[in-house]
Every structure is written in C-alpha cells, then in structure tokens.
A and B are shown apart, each in its own frame.
Chain A
C-alpha cells in the first residue's frame, strides 16, 4: 500500500503538479485489477496489423500476473459503432482503453473529454488531450533498412510496392523504402500500385503479378497477409515482410522483414495507470529498446556485406546519428523538398503527402 511518508508526499504531489492530476488518478491498491479495453477494427488474425496489437495485449495480460485483465472487441468497422463500444467499455469500469487504428482517432478525440476518468490511447492520431495519448511507429526506419537490402539485391533495378490505401503511415514508409534503396543504388526505381481494398487477397496477388511482369524483382508494401510474399515467391522474386514477418509461409524468398511491436506501448500505458502516473503522450518510436519497430528476419541468401550495411545504418539510427529523411530529398517532379544536410521535421513527416523521386505512381489529388 502506498505509504504516506513526507518524501512520498512530495514526490507524488510533484508528479501530480506536472500531470495536472485529475480525479481518479491514484495508484492501484494491492489487489486491484486493471481492466483494459481494446477495440480492433478488423478481425484478429494470425499476422498483420490486428495481430500485432493482439500480441501486445496478450503479452500484457499474461505478464501482469493477474493485475491486468483485457476485454477485446474486434470487427468494429464503423466509427458510429466504435464510439458506443468505447463508451460502454469505459462505463463497465475499463480504466484504460486502447484504440488500434487511425480511423478510431476522430472518435476517441470526440469521446475522451466526456470521460475524464478514463485514459485513452490511440494507435496513430493527431495531437493529444488530457486523457488521450497517441502512439505510432516510425515504420520508416524499418522500411529504410529493408530498402537498403532491396536496392542491393535487385538485378533489374525495379522495385515494387503494393499498398492498400494511401494513408500517411504507408506513404512515409514507402518514401523511406525508396530512399534506402537509392542510398545504395542510385538507379533503382519503385513502381507503385494501390489495391484500394483492405481485404481482397486476390487483387493484391494480381497487383504483385502486374509489377513482376513490369520488371520488379523485389516487392514490398503494407501486407496484412502472406499473399504478397507468396505471390512473389511463385514468380521467383524477392518479397519483403514490411510490417510483418511471413517467413512461416514464404519459406524461401522473403528477403528481410521487420515487425511492429506494440508491447511497450501497452505495457507502459497499463503500468502508468496502475502507478497513478499515466500521462498523455505522443509516442512516435522506431527501432531500439522500448521501440515499436523490430527488424526480424534476414534471408540466408542475403550477402554479408549487405547485412553489415544494414547493421551499420541501424546502429546509426539507434544512436541518433542518422535520420532516414535527411536531405537532399527531391520529390517526383524533381523539386527539392529537403535541403542537403537538413532533416525533415517530425510534423512535416507525419503528414507527408508527396512521393520521393524514383517512385513511379500516384497519390490521390486533394
């Protein structure tokens, strides 16, 4: 039990002063269980976006020694329904509620001020509120490194990217992929296809086949299922597990992969609420301990010098010495967007709406 010594009092009130302690923000008692609510937009699967969140809250629950109990809903596809579900979770005593996708952010932003006693966190969003934090992955760090591998291993100098929808996380990931490839292979280009569907594996496969027949020999994208990797393998070309390791199914031809790892996001949020120290933050983390991006596999066929290059860049990123979006960066029309030596500021990066030079494809017009 929290014992009220003078030191503790000063410490806790200092903490309280910095957070702006609202009602209900007290540390948990010994036997108190934290109820966490998680809402998935799509069905929970073996791999893909929802699977990463599922791994994180499963790990949270199992490692908590009974102190955390998670309630999960999946397939809540529409915003109107999401609002009701979030509110009901709050009403049923869930003190921490996690949103798992950017399309829930608008709802949470509307809802959070009306439920001051509950803490909310959303995976991707614009700005925080007193009781709403956001967390997002610097997936561009992962895609940059995979881009290095792609740039080195491509024989045709044509890479390919199949995206579902042109949302910001995918765009900066794609741009970093191209930058990484061009850093080792200035002649590389990347063809881009938007599938315009979240769950249509046949169309994704069609897209892969189209890119391969147009010369692409390393494929990446934002796959939620193994279909892209399998399609690439069928055609005998490389695929990259971009935000997902599919090597269990793509046995031979997955070049390298990285995964999103939300474990720290969930663990820190939960621990913060339990300790009474939760604070609304905007966490945008990439590689490294407590980060949200983890490089996972590397194909046996990846040459040692490429691995060394990737490791070197990874180290530089971890040490803060290198940022993938360091100039000079030109967009598709040749205009210089980031001056030589400068680094793109976070705010600009988060809402990027243009593609870097070398990418052959379009974004929807505003």
Chain B
C-alpha cells in the first residue's frame, strides 16, 4: 500500500481556506515539540507566544503598526504575483521611498505646515514607484527577468541610503552618529490612540485593503491581471495587454512599498537610520502567500507574521529563548504553508497493495 498524489478535477475550495490553517497548526506543533525539547513548559510557551504580546492596549497597537507595512506591501505584491510578475525587490522600493520622503521631511519639515506629511507620502510613493519602474521597464523592453533585477536593485538602494546617512544627511548636532536629525512634528504621522504608537499610516493601509479588494474583485483591470497570470497566450488572444499588466503589477508593489517606508520614518522611527526596515519587504512576500494573494487573507497573514515578530521578543524576555527563534519560525511556517498548498490542487490517495491469490489445488 502506498500514498499517491492525484490531481483533483477542480481546485478544492475548502482547502484554500484550510491550508493556511493547517500550516499554522503544523508550525505550532513543531514549536511545541521544540519547546518541550528545550525544557520549557508548552502551556506557558504558548501563552507567551500567542497571548502575551497583545495582552494590553500598547501591545495591540504594536501589533497593528508592525502589521501595517506588511499588509500594505503584501497587497501591492499580491497584485503582481497574480499576474505572474514577481517583484522581489520590495525592500529596495521601501528604501527608496524612505529616501525620497526623507528629502521632503528634512528640507521642509522644520518649516512646518500641514502639507508636509501628504507631500512625504506622495514623495515616498513616487520613490518606490520609480524603483519598481526600473525592473518593469527592463522586463517589458528587454525581457529581463524581474526577479533578478528587482532583487539586485534592493542592494543598490540599501547602499544608497547607507551612503546618505553616513555622509550628507548626518545630523550636524548628532555627534557624527550615523543618523539624520529627528523629523519635525509636521513630518510625523499623528498618533491615533493615546498610549500606543498606533499612527495614522494604518488608515492608509486600511484604504489600500478596500481599494485592492475592489480592484481585484470588481474591476476589469483586476480580471485582466488574473488572466495574464493564469495564461499569457489566452490573455493575448483576448487582447489584454501583457506589457501593461507588468507595469501595473510592478508599480503597485513599488507604490505600496514606498508608502510603507514613509510609514516607518514618519511613524515609529521618527528619524532616518542606515537601515529603515527589519526586512518588511521580504516578509511581505510571505504575507502575500500566507494570505493566498487575497486582501482579507493578507490582512490576517500580516497580523500573524507581525505577532511572530512580537512573540520572538516576548520569548526572549520571559522564557529566555534565543533571538534566532523568530527567523526559524517564519521559515518553518512558510515551508508548511507552501507544502500544504498542494492539497488544494492535489489529493492524497491511498493505493491498496495487490492481493496475492493462493493457488487452489484440487
């Protein structure tokens, strides 16, 4: 008897919702085994991981402001992934968004004015868009693979920011520490809930969720993107412009990443440092997949990944677990997720062994 993977007639709807849950469950199980192996009480460990980070208002606020860039970028990337356009350079686009909005913030922030913050958002969106336009151009004009071009540009962007912070943008009053001057109040997002760090950039993400849902589900453009992603020949036959799809896909990711970058410097950071994000651009790729490229799923996925970041810290503080545990869990979660996805298009069939016939003698 053996197990065989057999293609389903049609993708299973149930498994589409079940597979992320299965992945989360398997990750939790793995975690529990690890905790027991390390001598930690599983019940306490579970509490520390799942509940402790959000047990007060401040924790909830932290969950949201960490999920916000993940969700925003995830939405932008999902638009692209659906169209089979693989934007891996979100981290770089975020960084360029930081650079462009940083110009506005540092030059005009001190003067004040209610126009500074919206200008920063526009500048950041433009910066991210510009950085994603390069791979889009290279793909549509020269057929260059956007995975590699967008990835390479990430490093270029990070080096650019580092050069600026160690050089021309160093705070003149900052004892030559590599950091910009603190952003003026007019360049910061207002705090929504007293006592937390939850700021207005979350509203932008919320709007993005609604907007993306509308575009993908209800608009013709969304439909086109989906067809292009599923079958390029079919799309061409139907007259959908493949090139336009690539542009829209890449720019969506770029704009989202750029705005997310603004959210970081005008939000919890309040200043520019040599690095702007703890890898949100890459984590958002996980979020997009976790959410099955659907807006609601991405919201949930973003909240889960955000919780994982916070759990890692809580685990260090309360359980004395090492800091590397966050990366480990993120990787494991993604493994299980990618693995569980197979159950959507394939099902497991048990093939009975052959029956041995006994020779009958008269």
Question: Are B167 and A74 in contact (CB-based, < 8 A)?
Answer: no
Q: Say yes or no: is A351 at the interface (Cβ < 8 Å to chain B).
A: yes
List residues 180-235 of chain B with CB under 8 A from any CB of chain A: 182, 197
Tell yes or no: B93 within 8 A of A by CB. Answer: no
Query: In the bound complex, what is the Cα–Cα distance between A50 and B190 (angstroms)?
Result: 36
Would you call A333 an interface residue if the criterion is a C-beta within 8 Å of the partner chain's C-beta atoms?
Answer: no
Alpha-carbon separation in the docked complex, A87 to B173 (Å): 26
Interface size class of B (residues with CB under 8 A): 35 or more
Do the beta carbons of A43 and B166 come within 8 Å of each other? no
Interface centre among B174, B264, B317 (most CB of A within 10 A): B317
Inter-chain CA distance A76–B269, complex, in Å, is 14
Complex partner residue of B323 from A74, A91, A126, A365, CB under 8 angstroms: A74
| CB interface residues, A 69-96, toward B, < 8 Å | 71-81, 83-85, 87-89, 91-92
Distance of A92 Cα from B316 Cα, bound (Å):
13
Task: Flag B267-291 by CB within 8 Å of A: 1 or 0 each.
Answer: 1111101010110000000000000
B84 at the A interface (CB under 8 A): no
Rounded to whole Å, the gap between the CB of B89 and the closest CB of chain A is 20
Question: Is the beta-carbon distance between A102 and B177 smaller than 8 angstroms?
Answer: yes
Of the residues A73, A79, A110, A167, contact of B313 by C-beta under 8 Å? A73
Q: In the complex, A350 Cα to B177 Cα: how many Å? A: 10
Contact B167 A80 (CB under 8 A): no
Q: Which of A39-87 contact B (CB under 8 A)?
A: 43, 71-81, 83-85, 87
Q: Is the CB of A166 within 8 A of B278?
A: no
In the assembled complex, which residues on chain A have CB atoms less than 8 Å from the CB atom of B270? 106, 110
A284 at the interface (CB under 8 A from B): no
Q: Is B30 an interface residue (CB 8 A)?
A: no
B323 touches A73 (CB 8 A): yes
Is A215's CB within 8 Å of the partner chain B? Answer: no
- Once bound together, how far apart are the Cα atoms of A169 and B182, in whole Å? 21
Judging by beta carbons under 8 Å apart, are A78 and B277 in contact?
yes
A80-B269, A366-B167 given; A88·B317 CB < 8 A: yes
| A28: Cβ under 8 A from any B Cβ | no
- Contact among A83, A88, A167 for B178, CB-based, below 8 A: A167
Q: Is A103 an interface residue (CB 8 A)?
A: yes
Q: State whether A84 and B277 are in contact (beta carbons under 8 Å apart), knowing that A71-B317, A106-B271, A168-B175 are contacts in the complex.
A: no
Q: With A88-B317, A165-B166 as given contacts, are A79 and B178 in contact (CB-CB < 8 Å)?
A: no
Task: Report B192 CB to chain A, min CB distance, Å.
Answer: 16
Q: Cβ of B268: which chain A residues have Cβ within 8 Å of it? A: 79-80, 83
Query: Which residues of the other chain, A, contact B273 by a CB distance below 8 angstroms?
Result: 78-79, 103
* A–B Cβ pairs within 8 angstroms, 21 of them: A43-B323, A74-B316, A75-B323, A75-B324, A79-B271, A79-B273, A81-B313, A84-B313, A91-B56, A103-B179, A103-B273, A106-B271, A110-B182, A126-B174, A126-B177, A167-B177, A167-B178, A168-B176, A168-B177, A351-B175, A366-B167
